[in-house]
């Protein structure tokens, strides 16, 4: 039994190290050696869990997807408009944890540009978020046809992901209050009659 706990502890430590290195150094700084240094272990131990850099990146993306899906589930309460507002704000980078998530997301996306397998992981995660927002937009504006609901959802997702990307390097312009205001303006347009 202690052996199992030790293995789980090592995996948790390696997972945290992968996340931290990617968040702090981006994909260019993510390596088996950097993860080993961060986790205070050997590269052999890292290789026992992750076969290569792609596996490190894929792991970080899976952790990100799990975290953000849980946050979105928790945010989805109240009226459809309140739930949509809360889901969009939880996806924005308003807190230190959310800013770290945005850095991991952006780092992963940069690495996925030249890698089909990583790109597929990104597409799956992004489409899950798009489908959630589409469902909520449809609940907020049930009179709209599917094409208009989808267009509004894509615009809202693009807004939030754009804010996240830009805030990773310009936290002054894209401060939390500015991000909230941008989301509020976009939602006001969606909720306006007509």
pLDDT of amino acid 1: 47
Predicted local distance difference test score (pLDDT) of residue 3: 67
Are residues 67 and 160 both part of a single domain? Answer: yes
* Sign of the Cα pseudo-torsion (62, 125, 133, 179, in order): positive
43 and 19 co-located in one domain? yes
Same structural domain, 86 and 174: yes
Prediction pTM value = 0.87
pLDDT of residue 7: 61
The reported pLDDT for the residue numbered 60 is: 87
Give the HSE-up count for residue 171: Cα atoms under 13 Å, Cβ half-sphere. 10
Number of domains in the chain: 2
Same domain, yes or no, for 68 and 142?
A: yes
User: Which residues form the domain of 154?
Assistant: 57-191
- Same domain? For 42 and 128 the reply is no
Mark whether 29 and 109 lie in a shared domain.
no
Q: Looking at the structure, do residues 110 and 30 belong to the same domain, yes or no? A: no
Same domain, 46 and 121: no
Q: Do 78 and 152 share a domain, yes or no?
A: yes
Taking only the tens of pLDDT, the chain with its 194 residues reads 456 666 677 788 888 898 898 889 888 888 889 999 999 988 888 888 888 888 888 888 888 889 899 999 999 999 999 999 999 999 999 999 999 899 889 888 988 998 999 999 999 999 999 999 999 999 999 999 999 999 999 999 999 999 999 999 999 999 999 999 999 999 998 888 66
């Amino acid at each position: 039994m202690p052996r199992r706990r030790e293995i789980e502890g090592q995996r948790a430590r390696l997972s945290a190290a992968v996340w931290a290195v990617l968040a702090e150094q981006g994909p260019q700084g993510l390596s088996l050696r950097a993860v080993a240094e961060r986790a205070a272990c050997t590269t052999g131990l890292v290789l026992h869990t992750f076969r290569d850099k792609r596996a490190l990146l894929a792991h970080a993306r899976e952790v990100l997807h799990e975290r953000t899906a849980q946050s979105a589930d928790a945010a989805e309460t109240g009226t459809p408009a309140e739930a949509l507002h809360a889901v969009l704000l939880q996806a924005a980078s308003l807190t230190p944890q959310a800013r770290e998530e945005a850095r991991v997301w952006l780092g992963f996306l940069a690495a996925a540009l030249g890698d089909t397998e990583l790109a597929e992981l990104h597409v799956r995660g992004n489409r899950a978020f798009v489908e959630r927002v589409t469902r909520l937009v449809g609940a907020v504006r049930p009179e709209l046809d599917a094409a208009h609901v989808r267009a509004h959802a894509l615009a809202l997702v693009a807004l939030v992901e754009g804010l996240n990307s830009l805030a990773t390097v310009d936290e002054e312009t894209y401060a939390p209050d500015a991000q909230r205001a941008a989301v509020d303006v976009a939602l006001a347009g969606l909720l306006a009659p007509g």
